Chains A and B, each alone.
Chain A
Amino acid sequence: MDRLSALLGLPYTDTVVVAGALVLGISAGVLGSFAVLRGRSLVGDAIAHSTLPGVCVAFLVTGTKEVAGLLAGAAVAGLVAALLMIAVERSVLRADTAIGVVLSGFFSLGIVLLTHITATGDAQQAGLEAFLFGQAAGLLERDVAVMGAIGLAGLVGVAVLRRALAATLFDRAHAAALGLSTRLVEAAVTAFLVAAVVIGVRLVGAILMVAMLAVPTVVARQLADRFGRVLILAGAVGAVVGVTGALLATRAQLPTGPVIVLVGVVVALLAVLLAPDRGVLARRARRARRAREIALGRALGDPAAASAGARRRLVRAGFLTEDGTLTPAGAAAQEDRAERVALAMAWLHYGPQIRLRDAREPDLRDVRRSLEPDALTELKHLAGLS
């Protein structure tokens, strides 16, 4: 840690915080991904909130704020809450209701216990509030070691179980037919969530922890289509978010947990908007481009009936003169379009009769270029086009 401190040029205490944020980011990113991909981020939120009474009870029992003991309490409470949610959901309520009830119940209990501990004026109690909103101050090197050990155990679990988990999350019925126990997988996803929450709750706090579970996977999913890559990216994004947030917070003297979470939310927002393929802007652009193509094609088909805007675009493309006659290029484009439309119609009609070499279907916008040559010849023959 001293060497790391020298490397980063940070004071020792800040280095501990950055190391903690790194461990937290990687672990929460990877371990939280399964719940997020399953659409169960809120279970993570409920588990995080539920750790509070566990921390308080652990403090009351041990009388110290040794982090390992408090985290053990957090883990037990988180597990109990998770089991309770599953039980409640199985018996009477819907999942979202079960989550809401368990979350608020446990959290209220935690607040009551916390207030009680504060009221008794135990000198040692200063610091338990850290588990609400997270706190960098007072984080020790051995706390980070505990976090790292839990994280490492979780990552090993992921490495061992990832294939079974992916199979079940993707296609439950098929995974069951392969002999996988759905319950086992559910238990593993829950255990990973508890581990991630326990790692993060000291630094980020019970209330904000869900962001660290969700953000990395949201970003990773925007950028990757393979499960393994999503896992690795989620870990990397979590690490970057954690470290950046921790550095910013220590520089600016701001609360660490909220700053880390804010950094994460900004990164997630950017990924949702700007991701090259799945991003909102990329999708918008694709749709707009398609709409333009279609509009231009229609205008070219019948320039006289086209709107003023569409005609202007035809003029700009060099297909139409200002006085509304087709240029030679325009005439060629018009003919080309007519041929493409005819081929598309022909494919819709005769396509099913034509054998293809594999499952690749032609793009109806341009059958000529996307259909294999033999099939194209056959199609033209069937449709009487030459």
Chain B
Amino acid sequence: MDVVEIAGLTVRYREAPALWEVDATFPSGALSAIVGPNGAGKSTLLKAALGLVPADAGTVRIAGAEGRAALANLAYVPQAEAVDWDFPITVDEVVAMGRYRATGWFRRVGRADRAIAADCLERVGMGAFAHRQIGRLSGGQRQRVFLARALAQQAEVLVMDEPFAGIDARTQADLLDLLRGLADEGGSIVVVHHDLAQVRSVFDWALLLNVRALGCGPVAETLTEDRVRAAYGAGLPEGTPVWTG
């Protein structure tokens, strides 16, 4: 069953199309990647799916829901650029934000919700940092906290935008293990990722994107040498192993 269905999605920034009639599906219970060169529209695809940027055409269904209703079915880990790291907020408060949708914006976060948040924090190995101000963490630790916040939402689909960019190797390995484990337990995860070799070795499913969808399916069938070359064009760095499998 497909947990995310994208049909004919088109987004333009000014005149230039950022996404052009993209059709894609992502299966449930799988670890899926969105790959493509810089400027391919990977982040735009996520933002359009979330309604954070307006789409000119097309539909996105998430766990059967469309539009604002679809938001309830997904947990989003944004790129960290728009975050105020000096904001007076501690790690446990950040993770508790993942429960806001469930508790509502006005009621107290109850004991059950706090327990869920604490459990998610433990799963990403950050239990010892619960009372630390968020800005006093390393980049990798911050990313762990954001994953915990997303896990706390207990949504159908987990969507992450370049979660491994600029992150230390240990965090990358730990988070990837965690995501793999979640998918093996039936979780549905969609990750924008730049490391093709890692996608091939760990992920189940891939969307190859360069403004248009150049392939969408099981990793081995989608990320063929020809297609990857076509997607990256001259943008593929010299010596990048296009096919390692």
Contact = CB atoms under 8 A, between A and B. Distances in A.
B140 A359 contact: yes
Nearest to B69: A179
A91 B169 CA distance: 44
Contact of B88 (A167, A230, A351): A230
Contacts of A177: 50, 52, 71, 74, 76, 78
B15 interface: no
Interface in B34-78: 50-52, 68, 71-72, 74, 76-78
A33 to B, nearest CB: 9
B28 to A, nearest CB: 20
A358 B125 contact: yes
Given A177-B78, A179-B68, A359-B140, A37 B87 contact: yes
Contacts of B232: none
Contacts of B83: 170-171
A76 to B, nearest CB: 29
A371 interface: no
B93 interface: yes
A225 interface: yes
A178 B104 CA distance: 11
A361 B137 CA distance: 11
Interface stretch (A62-70, A158-166, A246-254, A324-332): A158-166
Interface in A120-168: 160-161, 163-164, 166-167
Interface in A334-364: 351-352, 356-361
A163 B101 CA distance: 11
A172 B144 CA distance: 18
B146 to A, nearest CB: 8
A226 interface: yes
Nearest to B47: A173
B149 interface: yes
A55 to B, nearest CB: 34
Given A221-B88, A230-B88, A361-B138, A167 B144 contact: no
A163 B90 contact: no
A229 B131 CA distance: 13
Contacts of B169: 352
A225 B101 contact: no
A157 to B, nearest CB: 12
A359 B71 contact: no
Contacts of B68: 179
A363 B72 CA distance: 41
Interface in B101-151: 101, 105-106, 124-129, 133-134, 138, 140-141, 144, 146, 149
B97 A179 contact: no
B100 A163 contact: yes
Given A176-B50, A177-B71, A179-B68, A227 B89 contact: yes
B14 interface: no
A111 B225 CA distance: 72
B100 A359 contact: no
B125 A169 contact: no
A174 B81 CA distance: 11
Contact of A170 (B50, B87, B174): B87
A167 B97 contact: yes
B105 A164 contact: yes
A352 B93 contact: no
B222 interface: no
Interface in A84-128: none
A382 interface: no
Contacts of A356: 125, 170
A42 interface: no
A177 B50 CA distance: 6
A226 B134 CA distance: 10
Contacts of A225: 88-90, 133
B82 interface: yes
Contacts of B77: 174
Contacts of A224: 88
B101 A179 contact: yes
B87 A359 contact: no
Contacts of A172: 82
A182 to B, nearest CB: 10
A225 B168 CA distance: 26
B165 interface: no
Contacts of A180: 105
B101 A178 contact: yes
Contact of B78 (A37, A166, A174, A361): A174
Instruction: Point out which of A177, A179, A226 has the most chain B C-beta atoms below 10 A from its C-beta.
Output: A177
Contacts of B72: 179
Given A167-B100, A173-B52, A227 B93 contact: yes
B213 interface: no
B94 interface: yes
A178 B149 CA distance: 12
15 contacts: A37-B84, A170-B84, A170-B87, A170-B97, A171-B97, A174-B146, A177-B50, A177-B76, A179-B72, A224-B88, A225-B133, A226-B89, A357-B125, A358-B127, A359-B174
Interface of A: 37, 160-161, 163-164, 166-167, 169-174, 176-180, 221, 224-227, 229-230, 351-352, 356-361
Given A170-B83, A352-B170, A359-B174, 15 more contacts: A161-B105, A169-B84, A171-B84, A172-B82, A173-B52, A173-B82, A174-B78, A174-B149, A177-B78, A180-B105, A227-B88, A358-B126, A359-B124, A359-B126, A361-B138
- In the complex, the 10 A-B pairs of residues with the closest C-beta atoms, listed nearest first: A358-B125, A173-B78, A177-B76, A359-B125, A225-B133, A170-B87, A230-B88, A352-B169, A171-B83, A164-B105
